Amino acid sequence: MKEAGERTVLCGANAYEKKYYFNEKFSGIPDSVKEELHIICVLFTEEVGGIFTIEFEEDGNVSMRTEYSQEDYLYDEIGSGLLINEVRRKRQELFETLRLYYRVFILHEDVEELLQED
């Protein structure tokens, strides 16, 4: 599932439809990580509303994106930015692990070279 800008959605939650999505292309990710991603996404949309996605950029970096309906007057735009920063800070190790997963299993980069970079 690629978009303009070459991002691949890993997972996301939609407060309007009360749904969670996980991209099966990444089924090799451990269940404990999948559960953590599920919790992050659902709690995010419960707190600020809208649609929240965790995505891989073309180079393997993990990004978070949120959007909302123009008719959603309850969406907390300031809170969403603050919450994204908090999630990024608290889950830094998780996102780094996901970045390595993507680069090794999707981009087929050499593990030893990646570990030497860090």
| pLDDT value for 74 | 86
Percent of the chain whose predicted confidence (pLDDT) is above 70: 95
* Domain chopping of the chain, boundaries: 8-117
Strands 51-56 and 19-22, bridge-based pairing:
unpaired
pLDDT > 90: what percent of the chain? 75
Query: What distance in Å separates the CA atoms of residue 42 and residue 37, rounded to the nearest whole number?
Result: 9
Query: Which positions ≥6 away from 38 have C-beta within 8 Å?
Result: 11, 20, 22
Residue 3: the pLDDT is 47
Q: Band of the pLDDT at 112, cuts 50, 70, 90? A: confident
| 73-to-76, 82, 84 alpha-carbon distances in Å | 8, 18, 20
59-106 pLDDT, tens digit per residue, is 999 999 999 998 988 888 898 999 999 999 999 999 999 999 999 999
Q: 3-state secondary structure string, the chain? A: CECCCCCEEEEEEECCCCEEEECHHHCCCCHHHHHHHHHHHHHHHHHHCCEEEEEECCCCCEEEEEECCCCCCCCCHHHHHHHHHHHHHHCHHHHHHHHHHHHHHHCCCCHHHHHHHC
pLDDT at residue number 5: 65
What is the predicted pLDDT for the residue at 12? 98
Residue 1 has pLDDT above 70, yes or no: no
pLDDT at position 11: 98
Task: State pTM to two decimals.
Answer: 0.89
